[in-house]
Amino acid sequence: MRATILDYGAGNLHSLARALTLLGLEARVESSVRAALDTQLLVLPGVGAFGCAVDRLEPDREALAEAIRGGLPLIGICLGMQLFFETSEEDDTRRRRGLGLLPGCVTRLRSRRVPHIGWTPLGASEERPTARPQERDQPMYFAHSYACRPENLAVVSAWATHEADRFPASIRFGRVAGVQFHPEKSSVAGLALLDRLVSQVTQ
C-alpha cells in the first residue's frame, strides 16, 4: 500500500516514514498537495506551528478537504490532527482557520506546565465505550502545547490528561484517524497502534 506524508513544513517526516515502512507500507514524502492526493493513505505529520502549516496548505486547502470528505483515508499526528478542526488560537493575533473537517477549535493546554512532554497513558472514552481496548491504557509519547476541543465528543476514541486538563488523545470518524501523541516515537506499542489505525482507515 502506498502511503504519502504531506510535507507542509512540519518536522519529524523521516522518522514517521521509517515507521510506516516498518509496517510494510510504501512510504513517500510529497510537498505538493495535488500530487499527495494520488495515494492510498494520506498522512499529516505533526511537529510545527498551526499558522505556518495552514499558510502552506492555503492554495489547495479546499481540494485537500474535499478529497478527505470524499473518502481518502487519512491519519493526522499531533499538529496533523489539530488541522482537522475549524480554528486554532495558537496564533496570538487571530484565530487561524483549519481544514474544517470537524466542528471545534484548538486551544492552549489548561495547565501550569506547558508544553506537555513525555509518556502519558491513554484513558477510556465514555462517549465511545466500544473503542478497542488497545486504544486505551497504553502510555504514549506526547510533545505539544495545544489540544483539540471537539464539539462532538463521540469522535473521541481515547483521552489523555496533563495536570488537570483532560483532552482528546485520539479521534476517529469516517476513514479518518488522528492522534495527539507521536506513535512513531512511542516504541513497540506506538508502532502497533499506528498499524491498527492504518488498517481501520483503509478497510
Asked whether the beta carbons of 165 and 114 are under 8 A apart, the reply is no
Closest CA to 31 of 45, 50, 51: 45
How far is residue 18 CA from its own chain's centroid? Answer: 17
Comparing 27-36, 59-68, 89-98, 178-187, which segment has the lowest mean pLDDT? 89-98
Q: Beginning with the edge strand found earlier in the chain, give each strand of the sheet holding 85-88 in spatial order.
A: 96-97, 85-88, 102-108, 146-150
- Is 144 marked active-site? no
pLDDT tens digit sequence for 116-153: 999 999 997 665 544 554 456 789 999 999 999 999 99
Q: Which residue has the cell 491504557?
A: 137
pLDDT tens digit sequence for 28-85: 999 999 999 999 999 999 888 999 999 999 999 999 999 999 999 999 999 999 999 9
Out of 86, 90, 135, 184, the active site residue is: 184
Q: What's the CA gap between 51 and 105, in Å, rounded? A: 13
pLDDT at 188 over 50: yes
Domain, as residue range, for 127: 2-202
Residues near 16 by beta carbon (within 8 Å), at least 6 away in sequence: 5, 27, 43, 45, 77, 184
The CATH number for 195's domain is: 3.40.50.880
- pLDDT above 90 covers a percentage of the chain that reads 86
Query: Domains in the chain: how many in total?
Result: 1
Q: What is the mean pLDDT of the chain?
A: 93
- Pairing mode, strands 102-108 and 146-150: antiparallel
What is the structure's pLDDT at 135?
54
Q: Is the alpha carbon torsion for 164, 142, 54, 33 positive or negative? A: negative
The phi and psi torsions of 43 (rounded to 5 degrees) equal -125, 125
- Is 182 marked active-site? yes
Out of 26, 30, 78, 116, the active site residue is: 78
